[in-house]
Structure 1
Amino acid sequence: MSAVSQSRVPRLRGRERPPRVFICYRRDDTRHLVSGLAAGLASSMRGSRIFVDRGSIPIGAVVQPTIEEEIESSDVVLAVIGPGWLTITGPDGSRRLDDPRDYVHAEIAAALRRGKHVIPVLVDGASMPLQDELPPEIAELAGRQAKRLHDDGPEEFAEFGHQLTAAVRSFRRRQEEQRQHQRTSSRRRRLPGLVVIAITLCFGAGLGVAALVPGDSPDRPLTGSLPILGAPSVAIEVPEFSGSVPDLKRDKARPRPRPSTSTGSSAAGNTRPTPTTSTGTATGSTGGSAPPPSGEGPLEGTS
């Protein structure tokens, strides 16, 4: 087999990438018509890349990784099914399709895992296999809509190519819509979190400013702190005082009384009664003796 790939031609719809088609088939089953199918698709799908079997792999390249890369980059995978596709056996007598190392099994399983658009193509009167007739890894193939080719002529293959081109455009449009929906859903999921963060930051900033600036009440202490992002909080404290701000102003404006000094004689208006003796004469400059303490009488033996 040889790779069938068109030369560089103008791309479809301006800058749209040409379709990439991967053809999966079993040589012992449908080798006689796959080359004609690839040629018909290449002629109708201008600029497209048609990957056919090992003939499309460069000499010296590792086969399995190259096949997986081609499947990954393809837009559609065609699973060509002939009359013996399901029942062909290997040297040991077991069904080849049941072997995970079988290329048909591995290629279809890889395409299904990657979510590629796999289209069963029924040729030579083959019937669509049932789900329980397929290995579990490729059982999903039974639920795909198949394309039946009745004639091996180039006109039918070319018509099939036009259908594939329209299908690829539909696939790509659907994928773009899904990606757009995922991006929108992701933004919607992130929006509540961003709103909460914004509200939290604004609330925190408001608390910092409210703590720094005193309110309307004059009795509120002038203390507070201003939080700074990325650094410890900066505290600004003012010593507290009793009373309110107006009281503090009045207290500062009020003159303070001077302390008074006491002398031997009492000042006018601030006189105090001086202690007297039992005879009623005042003590002080007269030199009289002080009276005995309260409750004590005169000493005995004195006149």
Structure 2
Amino acid sequence: MSGIKSSRDRIFDFINITLLTFLMVITLYPFLYVIFASLSDPSRIMAYPGLLYKPLGFSLGAYKAVIKNPNIFTGYVNTCFLVTVGVAVNITMTALGAYFLSRKNVLWGKVVMFFIVFTMFFNGGLIPLYFTVKGLRLDNSLCALILPTAINTFNLIIMRTAFMAIPDSIEESAKIDGAGHLLILFRIIVPLAMPTIAVMILFYGVGHWNAWFQAMIFLQNRELFPLQLILREILLMNDSFQMAMGANVGDQEMISETIKYAVIIVATLPILCLYPFLQKYFVKGVMVGSLKE
């Protein structure tokens, strides 16, 4: 019977499941370790050298110190602004560029596409970017983290390919009814390409949420620092020790260690909660954007 698996198929399934389970464990465990460490008793976690399979004791002192830190709240506000406004700008500009490049009768379309792809392999570097942003007077503003990277070339190519996969007859019917290019794009093309758009939202959103390098270069005002730059200071510049100043002198070092783990969870958890809502579009969107050129 066709429903009965052969011994080779069963061996393959066993090896496949074992390998994927192993990859899942080694990928998930570092995150679980950080969760367990952030909830552990500071004195016990400092004295424990091995792997963690559960919290050592239970303490929310690290999370209380994180919540009391005003820089964390300010970083959250700035990062949420970057994600919402930045993703809106990214999707709008990428959709406009992809629609233009996906038209079959565009003058010099292939030449323009060549120069766009060229930027994936060659760029001016950091110093020209800095002087460009400074010359446009965007430095020390959140616009410096949004406008220079408004379009990602890789995402533009994926969205262009997805737009090209939409049948021409739909666009022709809309033109007969009197629809213009903007109406066709935002009322017809974008809804039909929503799986790809959802993937682009995820890509751009994660990029803005994790961005810290450009913020470190272009921002001098601490009130504008995004969350990841605050996280960097806490992890690398011993700001966690300052956050633990309310404790006894002997306990400050221990509490500051658990604060580092708590900050990682606070900075990572929101973007992880977003992924399940977009995961169902992920595979479909990428495949739609990669099948037709």
Q: Fold conserved (TM > 0.5)? A: no
Q: If the length of structure 2 is used for normalisation, what is the TM-score?
A: 0.21
Which structure would you say has the larger RCO, counting Cα contacts within 8 Å and 6 or more residues apart?
2
Larger Cα Rg: Structure 1 or Structure 2? Answer: 1
Higher helix share: 2
